[in-house]
Structure 1
């Protein structure tokens, strides 16, 4: 299934995959290897799999046969994630199963067969109650959880512009919005997740995992920037006129290779 027939969201996931891969804290994988069964097979449950970027990044970094169970609520994304072929670090086979389900309703029993639980770019889309339920499922199953590429709200653009901070604040407020009766955590999700694991007595290691976007990522930079400004203006419509002029300047800088962006994330390894 090619990206040109996928949804705009799936195309966005494909566009950002290289930046996610470069940002993830690879040193946490060293700790993960020591938690997996010696000689395999290893069973890994990936939450919010999207098009399968975590599978494609992590499976080749782990040895031995692996059985991945991919969870998402979008069957189209799951079909795309399961369509490719991945092998382990030592060439061992990797098998893939999919489960189309509501992640926020997972229990410890659902994860009991896992040796490792993973997720990428997921936590900010949860509410506080949903984070608590997911953490409780991981803690109750007694399984380590590698939760990567969670936004923290920090953005730095170079060269700086007077409107950067105002747009960033409006965007972060948008990420914390109430949607469909759910109050999303957005950039507060990492702190909420750390607090939830602490309540369950589960230690967590954290690492920074920033996107660093420069001229080589001009397409991603432009797409991210349009979404960033658009969400800020949706949150604060009074920004629209100034933001339009700002966006023209910034996109021209990006096209000319003069704009660099750092988008802050954190990676967590719990358990």
Structure 2
């Protein structure tokens, strides 16, 4: 099952489009002729991206500056997407924290769960009826290799990504022969231009990183083929295998120790 062809009326939606994989997904889709709805909190960055993609690829790029962790802000966006012809939804927005949960900002941890898991569920539910009615569409969900196992010192992120991983693969199973594709992107470290990444980038060997552009390309290619899971990079493949086959009592200790180092300043 292929994806719907780009038209003047349909749109590809990318959340978390202001940086990293989200920006790369937006450019990859624009290069394939899709007009876009770009979603993130930082409207200035979205506007600059929209202008660049419009000039480079001749597509239309709409900007929605929305904090997806805020239900009141998210609801109008979900209502809009339910009424639009959405060819592709890239549920990509997400945030991670490191360190013992009880020592972190607990309200922020609640917001992360809302962003990483509940917003993914909400927006997927918004576009799904229309895709089914049109018998065509694609939903790409950015989960994580971290969602394959328990990870102390990365608790909220790992738990939220466990939801997205399972949600994507379960939904894909339900939609067989409907014309709607669902693919999970489960990356490990992805090199981006996000300044927040600098704190951890020096603690991870360079050969483990993959580029955001590479992750975006293979993700859209995989979505077009309705692949269940895209796992770019050496570390993410190793974490995926460990999460499936290694005893969780062992992976919890090993991963927890590694992520504790990432949280140390």
What TM-score, normalized by structure 2, do the two folds share?
A: 0.50
Q: Which structure is higher in strand share?
A: 1
Q: Which structure is higher in helix share?
A: 2
Task: State which structure, 1 or 2, has the greater radius of gyration over its C-alpha atoms.
Answer: 1
What TM-score, normalized by structure 1, do the two folds share?
A: 0.49
